Amino acid sequence: MNRIGIFAKVDRPEAREVVPRLVEWLIARGRQVLLEKETAGLVEQAPSAVRKADLPAQVDLIIVLGGDGTLLSMARLVGELAVPILGVNLGGLGFLTATTQEDLFPALDALFRGEMLVEERMMLAAQVTRGQDRLTGYVALNDVVITKSAMSRIITLAVSVEGQFATGYRADGLIVSTPTGSTAYSLSAGGPIVYPTMDAVVLTPICSHTLTNRPIVLPANLPIEITLLTGEQEVMLTLDGQVGLALEQGDIVEVRQASPRIRLVRDPRRHFFSVLRTKLKWGER
């Protein structure tokens, strides 16, 4: 790993301190450093800078400094390039950005010595069909969510799995989550925690009008179709809580396992269960 890309949440005060130190540290060790353009503004006499969308194609490793949202926005750009991402937490909960600021340089030393793990995580691909038209496709690392606006009444959805009708929902919305996203919005809505390296999909209704509608875990290879039956209401499709599209009555949202997989760098000493105990106080009374 010789070419290192850096992308930071620039409005975090910690980034102004960490990014210049990181650039200096990497250059001192003979690494080529490439900064995302806004991140480059944090460094005097910054090395080369490129647009965020162009960063993954030009580096061997991306260091993301911020929170989980910062990492999610980069993960969707990596796609088929399979560039590993090291997420560094600058505050907040941080399931994906599990490396702390204090651990950053020891973690990089360990990575360059070949002592870190690179985990592969599945992603979701979503496609919206409106009448005869197939709209732009999307990918998501955490979740694909269909939800009503704040002032709308509950919405009605029909869900088919592998071409067969599965169930209908009358609810505030529906979360289709990866195992990585099972500790995000899905967990808040009552969904299960799923081990992050599994290939599975979780369907979690949001405030279902029918109490018998419970979350369900499905094999990742089964295609899912969600049809919006509700009209005259504001309904949104969102990807990782960051990219959105307004849906119309009759729209079909097709969700399936995406072909690209995201590769996340992890300290082998920091197991998923230790993260649960730290972040969620899991198992404490």
Token reading at 120: 């592969």
Domain 3-116+267-280 has CATH 3.40.50.2300: no
Q: In this predicted structure, what is the pLDDT of residue 283? A: 77
252-271 pLDDT per residue, tens? 999 999 999 999 998 888 78
88-116 pLDDT per residue, tens? 998 766 788 888 889 999 999 999 999 99
Q: In this predicted structure, what is the pLDDT of residue 93? A: 63
- Please state the domain extents for the chain: 3-116+267-280, 123-259
11-46 pLDDT per residue, tens? 999 999 999 999 999 999 999 999 999 999 999 887
Query: How big is the CA angle at 274 (ends 191 and 15), to the nearest 5 degrees?
Result: 90
Q: Which residue among 11, 68, 172, 251 is the active-site one?
A: 68
Domain 123-259 has CATH 2.60.200.30: yes
Contacts of 136 (CB under 8 A, 6+ apart): 128, 245
Run of H or E residues at 112: helix 104-112
For residue 54, indicate whether it is catalytic.
Answer: no
195-237 pLDDT per residue, tens? 999 999 999 999 998 888 899 999 999 999 999 998 878 999 9
Pairwise CA distance, residues 247 & 235, whole Å: 5
Tell me the DSSP string of 216-247: EEEETTS-EEEEE---SS-EEEEETTTEEEEE
Any idea which residue has 């009503």 for tokens? 148
In whole angstroms, how large is the CA radius of gyration of the chain? 20
